[in-house]
Amino acid sequence: MQKKFLLVRTDRIGDLISITPAISVLRRNFPHAHIAVLVSPYAADVIKNNNEIDEVILKGPFLKTLAEVRGKKFDAAIIFFLDAYCALLTFLAAITARIGPRSKIWALFLSKSIRQNRSSGEKHEADYNTALLKPLFVYYHPVKTKIFVPKKDDIKAKNYLKEKYGIDMFDDLVFMHPGSKGSSAVWSAENYALLARKIMQNYPTVKLLLTGGPDEQRLLEHISAKTKPFAPFVLKDSLPLEDFIALINQCAVFISNSTGPLHIAAALGKKTLSFFSNEKACLPRRWGPYGKGRSAVLQPPEQACSAKNHKCTEKCMHLISVDAAFDAFSKLLKDK
């Protein structure tokens, strides 16, 4: 009989990307199983074309989603981020095996809870996620985060860049994404502007594109104005997430703070330069780009930043110098 699994991760983009290694492990162990993933509509596009997934279920009003999930008669649910909605949904849907982290009172609704102590940040979020598969007696193999971009989306992105900015597929395209959703302290707009100017001055053939959401346009314009006499391109169109993913797939290097698009770039195999604070809950050991060899992560010097005793601020992040960022970028760009 075909097994039916429901994987649940209903928070943000980077969080959803972090379960793709667990999906790969589950698929390798159960090649003929039906694997469904319950996600937020906001983040769904990052797994839309994943050929290891049979079905994507969008989180909606509780009773509506409960009726949909209950009707599919899943054998097991793995909840990667436990909250009241997900715990009660899988319990009331009468899914026999309900696996998740033993982190909140909602673990009482699980049939198997696993103590992980994620707040210690000893492992990457993706590794915590794959560890939740242990009750299924899986064997593990090397995996990485992944996003799939269909060829038609790739062609559409190439055409967009060519028509909008004159950027050719053979150009060294660099994305700079200075915004953040506010989960951690960020590198300043002034530093991004200085880095952008230094890149354009030293690498005349590089095409630099500033990117951000609709609510970050003022930030992008502010940075662009401070790079004179050089002028980066600015992404002003509000694109669907799947189109933005395809655009990121065209870049050579992606520069950002700790944010969802950074994890998109890493999952696409792009070289990344990112800036992280020293706060325990935000360390790159848990939340950095997943994988080896294609990323540079910069943090403030620990001895100069007392983030262990206070909330890390932009003042702490300013301790990451523009020169250090430029050197890291140069190594990534030249690394073929």
The chain-wide mean pLDDT, for the chain, equals 93
Query: Can you name the CATH fold of 4-136?
Result: Rossmann fold (3.40.50)
Answer yes or no: are the C-beta atoms of 199 and 208 closer than 8 Å.
Answer: yes
151-334 to CATH, choices 3.20.20.370, 3.40.50.2000, 3.40.50.1980, 3.90.1150.10: 3.40.50.2000
Residue with the larger pLDDT of the pair 182 and 243: 243
Q: Cβ atoms within 10 A of the Cβ of 50, count?
A: 18
Percentage of the chain beyond pLDDT 70 is 96
The helix (H) or strand (E) run that includes residue 298 is strand 295-298
Q: List the single range of 72-76, 86-90, 118-122, 182-186 with lowest mean pLDDT.
A: 182-186
| DSSP state for residue 225 in the 8-state scheme | H
Q: Is the pLDDT assigned to residue 307 strictly greater than 80?
A: no
Locate the domains of the chain by residue range: 4-136, 151-334
Q: What pLDDT, on the 0 to 100 scale, is given for residue 24?
A: 96
Specify the pTM.
Answer: 0.94
Q: Is the pLDDT assigned to residue 292 strictly greater than 70?
A: no
Q: What pLDDT, on the 0 to 100 scale, is given for residue 185?
A: 84
224/139 Cα distance (integer angstroms): 50
Residue with the larger pLDDT of the pair 80 and 313: 80
pLDDT (tens digit, 9 = 90+) per residue, 87-132?
Answer: 999 999 999 999 999 988 999 999 999 999 888 888 999 999 999 9
pLDDT band at 304 (very low <50, low <70, confident <90, very high): low
Nearest CA among 279, 282, 327, 266 for reference residue 305: 279
Q: List the single range of 76-90, 197-211, 294-308 with lowest mean pLDDT.
A: 294-308
Q: What pLDDT, on the 0 to 100 scale, is given for residue 121?
A: 83
pLDDT average, residue stretch 20-40: 97
pLDDT (tens digit, 9 = 90+) per residue, 221-265?
Answer: 999 999 999 999 999 999 999 999 999 999 999 999 999 999 999
Q: What pLDDT, on the 0 to 100 scale, is given for residue 336?
A: 64
Burial label, 135 (beta-carbon count in 10 A; 0-12, 13-18, 19+): middle
3-state secondary structure 24-84: HHHHHHCCCCEEEEEECCCCHHHHCCCCCCCEEEECCCHHHHHHHHHHHCCCEEEECCCCH
Same-fold call for 4-136 versus 151-334: yes
244/254 Cα distance (integer angstroms): 13
| The residue to which tokens 């269909």 are assigned | 150
SS3 112: strand
Answer yes or no: are the C-beta atoms of 243 and 211 closer than 8 Å.
Answer: no
Residue with the larger pLDDT of the pair 97 and 292: 97
